[in-house]
Structure 1
Amino acid sequence: MLLVIEAPLAIDALSALAHAGRLEAFRLLVKAGPEGLAAGELARLTGSKPNTLSTNLNILSTAGLVSSRRDGRSIIYTAGYDRMRELLAFLMEDCCGGSPEICAPLAAVVSKRCAAEGARA
Structure 2
Amino acid sequence: MSKGFAERRVVVRRKRRIRRGLFFGGQAIKWCVTGFVVLAYFFTLFCCAIYTAMNPGAGKYLLGATLFLGVVLADVLFSKRSILNRRWIAVATGLYGFAVLSYHFINLLAHKFGSWK
TM-score between both structures, scaled by the size of structure 2: 0.27
Greater Rg over alpha carbons, structure: 2
TM-score between both structures, scaled by the size of structure 1: 0.26
Higher strand share: 1
Higher helix share: 2
Q: Which has the higher contact order (CA 8 A, sep 6+)?
A: 1
